[in-house]
Structure 1
Amino acid sequence: MVFLGIDIGSGGTKAILLDKEGKPVQSAEISYSFDVPQEGWTEHDPEKWWKASVSALRELFETNDPSKVEAIGVSGQMHSSVLLDSDHNVIRKAILWNDQRTAQECEDVLTQIGEEKFRSLTMNTLFPGFTLPKIMWLKNNEPEHYNRLSTVFMPKDYINFKLTGMIATEVTDASGTGVFDVYHRQWNRTIIDELGLNPEWFPQVFESTDIVGRLKSSVAKATGMKEGIPVVAGAADNAAAAVGNGVYEEGKGLVSVGTSGVVLMPIKNKPEREFLLKTNPSLHIFCHALPNTWYAMGVTLTAGESLKWFRQAFEIEEDFQHMLNQVKDVEAGSNGLIFTPYLSGERTPHNDSKARGVFYGMNLTHRRKHFMRSVLEGVSYSLKDCHELIKHIIQSESFVVTGGAVKSEAWCQILADVLGVRLKKSGQFEGPAIGAAILAGIGIGHWKTPGEAAREDIENVITPDLERNQIYEEGFEKYRELYVKLK
Structure 2
Amino acid sequence: MTGCFLGIDLGTSGLKAALLGTDGAVLAVATAEYGYESPHPGWAQIDPELWLRAARRAVGEVLDAAGPAEVLAIGVDGQMHGLVLVDADGEPVAPALLWPDNRASGLLERWRRVPDAQSLRELLNPLAAGMTGPMLDWVAREWPERYACARKMLCPKDWLRSRLIPGVFVSDPSDASATLLWNAVNDDWHHRLVGQLGLNHGLLPEVRPSAEVAGVLESGVTRDWGLPAGAPVTVGAGDVAATLEAVDSPAFELSIVLGSGAQALSWEPGGRPGAEPDRPVRFHTYRAADERRYAMAASLNGGLVLGHARTLLGMSWQQLFASPFLELAVDDPLFLPFLFGERVPTPISAGHCSWTGINSSTTPEILAAVAVEGVLFGIRRAVESLPDTGGGVQLVGGAGSNPRVRQLLADILDRPVTGRAIPNATAVGAALLAARMAGVEVTLPQDGAPAVAEPSGSADDRYRRFLAQTEQITAGA
TM-score, length-normalised on structure 2?
A: 0.93
Query: Do 2:330 and 2:461's aligned partners in 1 also have CA atoms closer than 8 Å?
Result: no
Q: How does 1:309-388 map to 2 (within 5 A)?
A: 309-314=308-313, 316=314, 318-327=315-324, 331-333=327-329, 335-354=331-350, 356-388=352-384
| In 2: Cα distance, 1:391 partner to 1:246 partner | 18
CA distance in structure 1 between the partners assigned to 2:347 and 2:414 by the alignment: 25
Which residue in 2 is equivalent to 1:301? Answer: 300
Deviation at 1:380, TM superposition (A): 0.7
Give the aligned residue type for 1:419. L
Mark the runs of 5 or more structure 1 residues left unpaired by the alignment.
none
Residue of structure 1 equivalent to 2:143: 142
Aligned residue pairs, count: 471
- Displacement after TM superposition at 1:66 (Å): 6.9
Aligned to 2:128: 127
The one-letter code sitting in structure 2 at the alignment partner of 1:347 is: R
* Structure 1 position 422 matched with structure 2 position 419: no
Task: Please report how far the alpha carbon of residue 245 of structure 1 lies from its aligned counterpart in structure 2 after TM superposition.
Answer: 1.2
Q: Mean Cα displacement is larger for which, 95-104 or 356-365?
A: 356-365
Q: Which residues of 2 match residues 472-483 of structure 1 at below 5 A?
A: 472-483=459-470
| Deviation, structure 1 residue 276 | 8.6
Q: Which runs of 5+ in 2 are unaligned?
A: none
Query: What is aligned with 1:103?
Result: 105
Classify 1:41/1:59 alpha carbon distance in 2 versus 1 (closer, same or farther; 3 Å): same
Change beyond 3 A, Cα 1:456–1:154: farther
Hey, what's the Cα distance between the residues in 2 that align with 1:480 and 1:332? 17
Q: CA deviation at 1:181?
A: 1.7
Shift of 1:482: 1.1
Equivalences for residues 88-487 of structure 1 within 5 A: 88-113=90-115, 116-165=117-166, 166-247=168-249, 251-270=252-271, 272-274=273-275, 277-279=278-280, 281-291=281-291, 293-314=292-313, 316=314, 318-327=315-324, 331-333=327-329, 335-354=331-350, 356-392=352-388, 395-447=389-441, 453-457=443-447, 459-466=449-456, 468=457, 470=458, 472-486=459-473, 487=476
Partners of 1:201 and 1:398 lie apart in 2 by 42
Secondary structure at 1:390 match in 2: coil
Q: C-alpha distance in 1, partners of 2:225/2:94?
A: 27
Q: Conserved in 2, the CA contact under 8 Å of 1:192 and 1:198?
A: yes
Distance 1:264 1:66, change over 3 A: farther
Asked whether the equivalents of residues 341 and 379 of structure 1 are also in contact (C-alpha less than 8 Å), the reply is: yes
2:401/2:421 contact within 8 Å kept? no
Q: Aligned partners of 2:124, 2:323: CA distance in 1, in Å?
A: 43
Distance 1:474 1:334, change over 3 A: closer
Q: Percentage identity across aligned positions?
A: 27
Cα RMSD after superposing both structures: 2.0
Kindly provide the CA deviation profile for residues 185-231 of structure 1, in whole angstroms up to 9, marking residues without a partner as x: 31111112222222221111112111111112222223332212111
Instruction: Label 1:382 to 1:118 Cα distance change in 2 as closer, same or farther (>3 A).
Output: farther
Distance 1:65 1:233 in 2: 27
Assess if the C-alpha contact under 8 Å between 2:18 and 2:29 holds in 1.
Answer: yes
1:455 is displaced (CA, Å) by 4.0
Bigger drift between 472-481 and 75-84 goes to 472-481
Instruction: Give the TM-score, by structure 1 length.
Output: 0.92
Distance 1:478 1:21 in 2: 49
